[in-house]
């Protein structure tokens, strides 16, 4: 793109989007759109490449730099442009959520949603957030088991009998008392522990004056439990420092480490680390801004002070941006005293963590297939996390979407998932199934609990690839994806382009590994579903096998082979069965014409 190809640009603040076709290459913000965009044609390195590669520029004018910052953050999060610095992380840190309902409840979640609920987090220590949740569940009588949204029950759960719930699910709760309990939980999570203690003391004294000694004793126990938790589970660093966040930064060549520390009431709550690769051409301010934008877009509640390791041109804009969340927040570099020493500590820890991470990377070895994929597919960074997708079915029956996860070229089996396809009407439809699998992966609980991958591998041709792309769009995401045809082992891109690689190419070998693992994962689950369905139909026809015995058999066995291997005596010992029913089951199985569970033909 040449300067004369630019649209007329105003000298107002806004956000600009460099594009090639409909693909967004880079999103940036500017105090003056005209001055900032024009500078790309006098720059070198990444900026020059972006301007040269783009064939069009879109822009959005906003009222001020703070609005530009917020819009830039949301666009980067939505489109994940190739040339923007993205703070990739291998986990989603937990939040505590107090739902917005007539009878609120406290949950641990991984995503902040615009649903009116109150959120606290992210918490750098997952163990700490679980301890806080257990404390709240034990001490405060909020509902725990009546669902989201709230559902009525016929009988209260055990928490009511243990004195840990007001039981609104059976209309036993008083709204005023419940609201007081909700406020106590909010005070606790806001860090207003002294205010919480004062309120509890006042309620205990009031209950005692009214001679409601049982209620007074309950409140006394609440005070003791909260004091015990905050007295023994956290260590004070310096009470006079109050509430603040501070950040450490270190870099070495193509790598950087950013560490975020939380301090509340002078107590160090923990840290969150981001290790970033492929940043050789990014400036220190660009990396720090990317981290602030990524972290504080969701973090809540915020402290009054955020300490930086070095100055940013947009410090004032970040201060105003964070202050829009409800309290005034100052973002600055400390100049002297204890706050300076905190940032120095963070800097030292970030440098140590970076050196340790680099040594770990060397020990692991960089998988050559990841670098090969980056080059072959034109990705801006190595695809550390790859997810594979495949569909397994037999004439539309028991269709299953299989998802596998590879990180650093190695399978991460704890995050494998299988999805039962819904809505098929007896006919196979791999395109429909693939679209549904991808859309469901990136929505609901799976989206909350699994990080966004760097690359999707689709087992199939152009139809399956475009179906997966349609599923991504339904979820509002743009993620690089590639298909792998089975026989030719050819890479297929969504635009129809094909890439043929020699079988010895490390990128192709890695993709074949991911594809085969995904296929086997789905095949195992598909067999299990199909076998269970066949077992159910066989048990339906056996005299003397009613619903209870059928359930017991299905609980213990998933294939005919497992059952056939049992003797009458062994089968008769199962719960609910006797010798006569065991004989009937084995007789029916021996008359079954087809043995299930035999391996299907495998593709090479």
pLDDT in tens, 554-581: 566 655 566 667 777 877 777 767 788 7
Cis peptide preceding 122, ω within 30 of 0: yes
**Is residue 395 over pLDDT 50?**
no
pLDDT, greater one: 193 or 233: 193
For the ranges 69-78, 172-181, 267-276, 550-559, the lowest mean pLDDT is seen at 550-559
Neighbours of 458 (CB within 10 A): 29
82 three-class SS: coil
pLDDT digits (tens, 9 = 90+) for 209-223: 888 888 888 888 878
Question: All domains of the chain, ordered by start, with CATH?
Answer: 3-79 (3.40.1440.10), 239-363 (3.30.420.10), 372-519 (3.30.420.340), 541-590 (1.10.150.20)
580 three-class SS: helix
DSSP-assigned letters across all residues of 279-337: -TTS-HHHHHHHHHHHHHTT-BSPPSEEE-SS--TTHHHHHHHHHTTSS--EEE---SH
pLDDT digits (tens, 9 = 90+) for 2-45: 888 899 999 999 999 999 988 999 999 999 999 999 999 988 88
Neighbours of 324 (CB within 10 A): 11
**Is residue 152 over pLDDT 80?**
yes
**Is residue 597 over pLDDT 60?**
no
Taking each helix axis as running N to C, give the angle between helix 65-79 and helix 284-296, from 0 to 180 degrees, rounded to the nearest 10: 80
Residue 384's pLDDT band (boundaries 50, 70, 90)?
confident
150 close to 103: Cβ distance less than 8 angstroms? yes
Cis peptide preceding 149, ω within 30 of 0: yes
For position 222, what pLDDT does the model report?
A: 75
Q: Rounded to whole angstroms, how far apart are CA atoms 18 and 410?
A: 35
Q: What's the angle, vertex CA 592, arms to CA 588 and CA 597, rounded to 5?
A: 120
Q: What is the pTM of this model?
A: 0.56
**314, 315, 321, 322 alpha-carbon torsion, rounded to 10°:** 150
Q: 508: closest CA among 365, 383, 413, 370?
A: 370
Q: Rounded to whole angstroms, how far apart are CA atoms 550 and 286?
A: 63
Both tokens assigned to 430: 């791999």
Report the chain's C-alpha Rg in angstroms.
Answer: 29
pLDDT digits (tens, 9 = 90+) for 579-590: 887 788 777 766
Q: Rounded to whole angstroms, how far apart are CA atoms 349 and 342?
A: 11
Residue 364's pLDDT band (boundaries 50, 70, 90)?
low
**Is residue 471 over pLDDT 90?**
yes
Q: Find the helix or strand (DSSP H, E) in which 159 lies.
A: helix 158-161
Residue 125's pLDDT band (boundaries 50, 70, 90)?
low
For the ranges 107-116, 252-261, 554-563, the lowest mean pLDDT is seen at 554-563
Both tokens assigned to 284: 């220190």
Tell me the sheet residues that pair with 481: 456
**Is residue 377 over pLDDT 70?**
yes
For position 599, what pLDDT does the model report?
A: 33
Both tokens assigned to 452: 């966004």
Both tokens assigned to 33: 């759109």
Both tokens assigned to 549: 């015995």
**Is residue 137 over pLDDT 50?**
yes
Q: 41: closest CA among 13, 83, 1?
A: 1
Q: How many whole angstroms from its chain centre is CA 237?
A: 31
For position 596, what pLDDT does the model report?
A: 36
Q: 276: closest CA among 246, 248, 254?
A: 254
For position 482, what pLDDT does the model report?
A: 96
For position 603, what pLDDT does the model report?
A: 25
For position 363, what pLDDT does the model report?
A: 58
User: CB-side exposure of 507: number of CA atoms within 13 Å?
Assistant: 22
Residues 401-408, mean pLDDT to the nearest whole number:
90
For position 524, what pLDDT does the model report?
A: 66
Report the percent of the chain where pLDDT is more than 70: 83
Tell me the sheet residues that pair with 248: 259
For position 544, what pLDDT does the model report?
A: 64
pLDDT digits (tens, 9 = 90+) for 434-461: 999 999 999 888 888 888 999 999 998 9
Residue 537's pLDDT band (boundaries 50, 70, 90)?
low
For position 512, what pLDDT does the model report?
A: 92
Residue 358's pLDDT band (boundaries 50, 70, 90)?
confident
Residue 533's pLDDT band (boundaries 50, 70, 90)?
low
For position 260, what pLDDT does the model report?
A: 92
Tell me, letter by letter, the H, E, C secondary structure of 130-145: HHHHHHHHHHCCCCCC
391 close to 436: Cβ distance less than 8 angstroms? no
For position 121, what pLDDT does the model report?
A: 80
For position 111, what pLDDT does the model report?
A: 81
Averaged pLDDT score across all residues of the chain = 82
270 three-class SS: strand
Q: 402: closest CA among 365, 441, 368?
A: 441
Strands (E), 92-210: 95-98, 106-109, 118-120
For position 344, what pLDDT does the model report?
A: 93
52 close to 24: Cβ distance less than 8 angstroms? no
Q: How many whole angstroms from its chain centre is CA 510?
A: 25
86 close to 30: Cβ distance less than 8 angstroms? no
pLDDT digits (tens, 9 = 90+) for 415-439: 999 888 888 776 678 899 999 999 9
Strands (E), 460-538: 481-484, 491-492, 498-499
Tell me the sheet residues that pair with 300: 121
User: CB-side exposure of 548: number of CA atoms within 13 Å?
Assistant: 7
Residues 371-386, mean pLDDT to the nearest whole number:
88
256 close to 351: Cβ distance less than 8 angstroms? no
Residues 308-334, mean pLDDT to the nearest whole number:
89
Tell me, letter by letter, the H, E, C secondary structure of 5-49: HCCCCCCCCEEEEEEECCEEEEEEEECCHHHHHHHHHHCCCHHHH
Q: Rounded to whole angstroms, how far apart are CA atoms 277 and 287?
A: 11
For position 505, what pLDDT does the model report?
A: 85
How many residues would you count in the chain? 604
């Amino acid at each position: 793109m040449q300067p004369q190809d630019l649209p007329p640009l105003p000298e107002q603040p806004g956000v600009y989007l460099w594009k090639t076709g409909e693909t967004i290459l880079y999103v940036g913000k500017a105090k003056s759109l005209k001055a900032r965009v024009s500078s790309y044609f006098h720059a070198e390195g990444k900026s020059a490449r972006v301007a040269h590669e783009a064939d069009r520029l879109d822009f959005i004018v906003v009222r001020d730099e703070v609005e530009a910052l917020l819009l830039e953050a949301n666009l980067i999060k939505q489109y994940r442009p190739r040339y923007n610095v993205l703070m990739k992380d291998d986990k989603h840190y937990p939040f505590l959520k107090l739902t917005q309902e007539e009878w609120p409840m406290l949950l641990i979640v991984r995503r902040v949603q615009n649903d009116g609920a109150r959120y606290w987090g992210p918490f750098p220590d997952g163990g700490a957030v679980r301890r806080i949740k257990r404390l709240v569940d034990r001490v405060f009588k909020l509902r725990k088991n009546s669902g989201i949204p709230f559902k009525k029950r016929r009988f209260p759960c055990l928490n009511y009998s243990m004195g840990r719930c007001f039981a609104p699910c059976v209309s036993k709760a008083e709204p005023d008392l419940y609201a007081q309990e909700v406020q106590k939980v909010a005070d606790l999570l806001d860090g207003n522990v002294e205010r919480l203690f004062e309120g509890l003391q006042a309620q205990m004294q009031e209950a005692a004056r009214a001679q409601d000694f049982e209620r007074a004793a309950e409140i006394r126990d609440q005070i003791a439990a909260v004091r015990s938790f905050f007295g023994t589970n956290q260590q004070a660093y310096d009470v006079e420092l109050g509430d603040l966040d501070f950040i450490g930064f270190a870099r070495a060549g193509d790598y950087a480490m950013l560490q975020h520390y939380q301090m509340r009431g002078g107590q160090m709550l923990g840290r969150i680390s981001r290790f970033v690769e492929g940043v050789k051409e990014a400036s220190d301010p660009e990396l720090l801004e990317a981290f602030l934008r990524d972290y504080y877009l969701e973090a809540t509640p915020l402290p009054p002070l955020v300490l930086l390791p070095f100055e940013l041109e947009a410090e004032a804009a970040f201060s105003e941006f964070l202050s829009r969340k409800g309290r005034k927040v100052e973002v600055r570099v400390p100049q002297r005293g204890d706050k300076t020493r905190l940032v120095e500590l963070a800097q030292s820890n970030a440098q140590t963590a970076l050196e340790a991470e680099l040594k770990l990377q060397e020990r692991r070895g960089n998988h050559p297939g990841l670098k090969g994929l980056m080059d072959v597919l034109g990705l801006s960074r190595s695809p550390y996390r790859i997810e594979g997708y495949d569909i397994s079915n037999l004439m539309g029956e028991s269709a299953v979407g299989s998802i596998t996860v590879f990180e650093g070229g190695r399978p991460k089996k704890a995050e494998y998932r299988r999805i039962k396809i819904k809505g098929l009407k007896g006919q196979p439809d791999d395109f429909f199934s693939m679209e549904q699998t991808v859309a469901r992966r990136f929505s609901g609980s799976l989206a909350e609990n699994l990080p966004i991958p760097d690359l999707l591998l689709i087992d199939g041709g152009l139809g399956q690839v475009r179906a997966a792309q349609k599923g991504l769009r339904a979820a509002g995401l743009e993620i690089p994806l590639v298909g792998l045809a089975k026989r030719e082992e050819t890479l297929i891109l969504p635009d129809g382009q094909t890439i043929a690689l020699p079988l010895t190419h490390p990128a192709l070998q890695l993709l074949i590994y991911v594809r085969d693992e995904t296929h086997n994962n789905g095949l195992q689950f598909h067999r299990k579903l199909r076998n269970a369905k066949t077992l159910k139909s066989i048990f339906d026809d056996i005299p003397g096998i009613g619903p209870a015995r059928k359930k017991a058999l299905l609980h213990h066995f998933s294939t005919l082979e497992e059952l056939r291997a049992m003797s009458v005596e062994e089968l008769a010992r199962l719960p609910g069965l006797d010798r006569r029913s065991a004989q009937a089951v084995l007789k029916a199985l021996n008359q079954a014409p087809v043995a299930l569970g035999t391996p299907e033909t495998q593709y090479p």
